[in-house]
Amino acid sequence: MSANAELSPEGWVREQTQKILEQGTTEGVQVMDRPIVLFTTTGAKSGKKRYVPLMRVEENGKYAMVASKGGAPEHPAWYFNVKANPQVTVQDGTEVKELTAREISGDERAHWWELAVAAFPPYAEYQTKTDREIPVFILE
Rounded distance, CA 26 to CA 57, Å? 13
> Mean pLDDT across the stretch 98-102?
98
Number of domains in the chain: 1
What distance in Å separates the CA atoms of residue 25 and residue 116, rounded to the nearest whole number?
21
The pLDDT, as a whole number, for residue 3 is 52
Please state, in angstroms and as integers, the Cα–Cα distance from residue 26 to each residue in 23, 55, 120, 140, following that order: 8, 11, 16, 19
pLDDT of residue 10 exceeding 90, the answer is no
Range of the domain at 82: 11-139
In a domain, residue 5? The reply is no
- The domain that holds 64 is classified in CATH as 2.30.110.10
Residue 4 lies in a domain: no
Q: Which residue(s) pair with 128 in the sheet?
A: none
pLDDT category at 118 given cuts 50, 70, 90 is very high
Q: What is the pLDDT of residue 31?
A: 82
